[in-house]
Chain A
């Protein structure tokens, strides 16, 4: 149409347009990170420091899924390869790491990224470059826009869905009044996402979220004293919904000993770490602490989990099954399905289209996985677990 500004400049513009089209055509012949024999994926996460277990386990899950596919000949003749770099869970460093992955390592897409604050820092860069990010270990809201971002695909349920499930459990199963539930959060986008689901669910029970005791702590600290004091000042409380990491969570539980509260956590607390830490404090701390999960228990006997256990034994015999590596493994399986559907002509666009075509994919975890142009989150299911005295989990019915 009128793609020109003034008649005078049209020939030059036309020539530029032709050049641009030629350049685009040349570039499209070669897709970054994709060769006839290999696809390279990137991953940025903490592999050192306190959060290193999250990165390590998630990577393990994806690696095991990729190894299985590679042993079966790869996808459309291509072996899958994962380059993981340590971002220390620091947003600034993560931006540099992701730039390196994209520009130096020339990865095709990012998978299994960890750390909401870090992802938030480099997401605009990925969007600008049109790089796909699949299966982050994050339930944050900004990865779940409505409508969904073209290049962001999630496997797992959101933090908001986890806190919703917890409120439902406390009100419906434990029969507490909404006013008897306090909210404890990390004061950032992680906590805010949890609060969103918490408040939404309270409103569904016709309760006013503004009447709920809302306390918190600063990220990367364990300063929970103020929060503990406020909760102690409210003896009518029966439960706390916690959106925290395991150190401050354990500290709060320790400080509130004797109040007879039900402590509930979302998956990002990392149940095993919380269990270990509470068990170290003494026999009574861990017992009864609830943790929601976005994958079934890794000890389950369901088809998908059995396959996972087998693969883990084969490719990483020294590792024990874990929620985190199971999440990476299952997300990896969904990605493999997308790659299979995209086939030989693998581009970011063809993968987006292939993933959006996945409907009711049965992995065997009790919930079918579906994507679509308006739906970029595969699963909405939340599982419940409860810790015993030793800090080990067992399944808990949330409904």
Chain B
């Protein structure tokens, strides 16, 4: 679960030390007082990758060490996408503290009262700037990035693209080949060549020479003590996280109780990072509840998450790492249909269960179902069909009054197929429906908007999009004076969509519908109350939302299957247990279950309507 806090209370070095001491793996997200964002990956006790605003590698670390304000959020067990820093953390820390000290002395020595701070002075809003920390101008100078930084959405240097030989899908399922990275991704900066020799002058003297350095060293040692206490108390409460010795079902040699290691791959950086974070949070709530109750079959559940940036080209290597290096028992709650298409062949080849992905694509819903693929949620096709039913039955629109707006990949494709199937079922034809779309990872909605504006008599658009293009699309059409009903699938991220539309002051008139595959997170149903209770205990500061609720419910279902499997656990046994799981009532209004011919637990779809105040209320879809 996320640890969140303020850098004014916990210095960056103290924070990192906490994870270094326990030799843990985690990702640390920072937001600096000037709103720059950054991410630092700790891998088994060493910081291996770093990025902050325009800075990468050790420059980013130095900048982070200089911060005395800003906020942080830590997700344990998120593994770095690549390694750009190869030294031990202790070396890096001392080295950078000294450099920082020198920079600051140089600045104060020049006696420039207020050096121009191009970024910090960029007025982001009213009020005093909360940056008392000296901005390490020199650090910027080194990278020559004084001009506005490139968008920080991309993580730092990605690993070298996987050699083709790495993905030999034994099963000819990879119908959707990985989208070439170069087509959509912004240019990736060169990996930083970190070859600086380990420090020739004695570090301690330089450090103690400055008050800041002394404070930092004292802080670091205090942090070690505090960290020890925290770790000890975590162990006491049965929530210890041994950082290595992860080996699937096998009891780990170092851990006091055996572990069951599960893996997920999702975007933890870039525009879709909230989806990955939400799913992971929810899954961990379910696992935490199971672990608190003594584990399942004598094992504690642990989730390791890899960042695939929502890029299919990275999903396959991530899957390889989960299976080969981490040796996870099963893959649970991965995010993204396109990523699933790329990663799935490997899981199928290794006969590893691929459970509860946050993906409604058809690739995970073959008929008959793939033996090792189990879904919690309905497919995007079912969501689109429910939206069409609502538009034709409740709103009473005709097919020629409908348009379609979809992402140009498996997500949009699954939606279009669902739309066509539903109209067919109603004795109508999808030919009359105007089909438009946009490219994944872009928000180029201009063409689609123009097409829709040109067609007369349209009443509604069935949308299979992500929030960025979706909000722009709705905004553009509304600004052009179109009066349409817009239906969105759950993957749009209802909360962010609402935020965007509210920010843009788009007037709402009961015309934005979002279908959901879980109940409203504000529901008073038993399992949703329990979810909120766990969220408040284990993920303070997180608001309830459909993503983490989906992760939680999928996790509950998975835990239930593990319970039934008992101590004798294998992938094959888990498959038989799952296929024999019927009529499980978690109190979400629908019974969950699987069978050999049915690998999707729920077919239920809830309708929600965005109200003018930016919140959703439920709406009858039938």
Contacts and interface: CB of A to CB of B under 8 A. Distances in A.
Interface of A: 1-8, 10-11, 14, 127, 145-152, 196, 200, 203, 208, 210, 352, 356, 372-374
A339 B195 CA distance: 73
Contacts of B212: none
B477 interface: no
B10 interface: yes
Contacts of A3: 1, 537-538, 540
B524 A1 contact: no
B179 interface: no
Given A1-B284, A7-B227, A203 B622 contact: yes
Interface stretch (B40-48, B309-317, B361-369, B525-533): B525-533
Contacts of B230: 4, 7, 10
Nearest to B233: A14
A334 B620 CA distance: 30
B226 A148 contact: no
A372 B223 CA distance: 50
Given A147-B588, A203-B622, A8 B526 contact: no
Contacts of A149: 523-525
Contacts of B10: 6-8
Given A1-B538, A210-B396, A374 B585 contact: yes
Nearest to A152: B524
A152 B606 CA distance: 20
B14 interface: yes
B249 interface: no
A374 B591 contact: yes
B526 A1 contact: no
A7 B18 contact: yes
Contacts of A11: 229
B546 to A, nearest CB: 14
Nearest to A353: B526
A225 B620 CA distance: 32
Given A149-B524, A150-B524, A2 B2 contact: yes
A342 B400 CA distance: 57
B92 interface: no
A372 B606 contact: no
A2 B394 contact: no
A372 B528 CA distance: 15
A154 B396 CA distance: 33
Contact of B540 (A5, A10, A210, A352): A5
A230 B537 CA distance: 57
B246 to A, nearest CB: 18
12 contacts: A1-B288, A2-B2, A4-B230, A7-B14, A7-B223, A7-B226, A145-B618, A147-B589, A147-B590, A149-B525, A373-B527, A374-B589
Contacts of B529: 150
A2 B585 contact: no
Contacts of A10: 226, 229-230, 233
Nearest to B526: A150
A313 to B, nearest CB: 40
B5 interface: yes
Given A2-B1, A3-B540, 15 more contacts: A1-B239, A3-B537, A3-B538, A6-B6, A7-B14, A7-B18, A8-B10, A127-B524, A146-B606, A147-B528, A148-B525, A150-B529, A150-B587, A200-B622, A374-B591
A352 B6 CA distance: 41
B74 interface: yes
A203 B284 CA distance: 43
B524 A374 contact: no
B-side interface mostly:
mixed
A206 to B, nearest CB: 9
B3 interface: yes
A17 B423 CA distance: 56
Contacts of B284: 1
B9 interface: yes
A147 B587 contact: yes
A374 B538 contact: no
Please name the 8 residue pairs, one residue from A and one from B, whose CB atoms are nearest each other, closest first.
Answer: A373-B587, A147-B589, A147-B525, A149-B524, A2-B3, A7-B226, A150-B526, A373-B585
Given A210-B396, A373-B527, A146 B519 contact: yes
A127 B522 CA distance: 12
B410 to A, nearest CB: 30
Given A5-B5, A145-B524, A196-B620, A374 B590 contact: yes
A107 B457 CA distance: 59
B589 A146 contact: yes
Interface in B576-616: 585-591, 606
Contacts of A210: 396
Contacts of A148: 525, 587, 589
A242 to B, nearest CB: 22
Interface string B517-554: 00100011111110000000110100000000000000
B4 interface: yes
A196 B590 CA distance: 21
A329 to B, nearest CB: 28
A330 to B, nearest CB: 24
A151 B524 contact: yes
A4 B591 CA distance: 36
Given A373-B585, A374-B585, A2 B74 contact: yes
Nearest to A123: B524
B451 interface: no
B620 A200 contact: yes
Most buried by B among A5, A352, A372: A5
B396 A352 contact: no
Interface string B317-349: 000000000000000000000000000000000
A352 B526 CA distance: 10
Contact of A8 (B9, B537, B589, B591): B9
A7 B15 CA distance: 8
Nearest to A208: B396
Given A4-B230, A150-B526, A374 B540 contact: no
B588 A374 contact: yes
A308 to B, nearest CB: 31
A152 B523 CA distance: 12
Contacts of B589: 146-148, 374
A146 B587 CA distance: 9
A10 B225 CA distance: 13
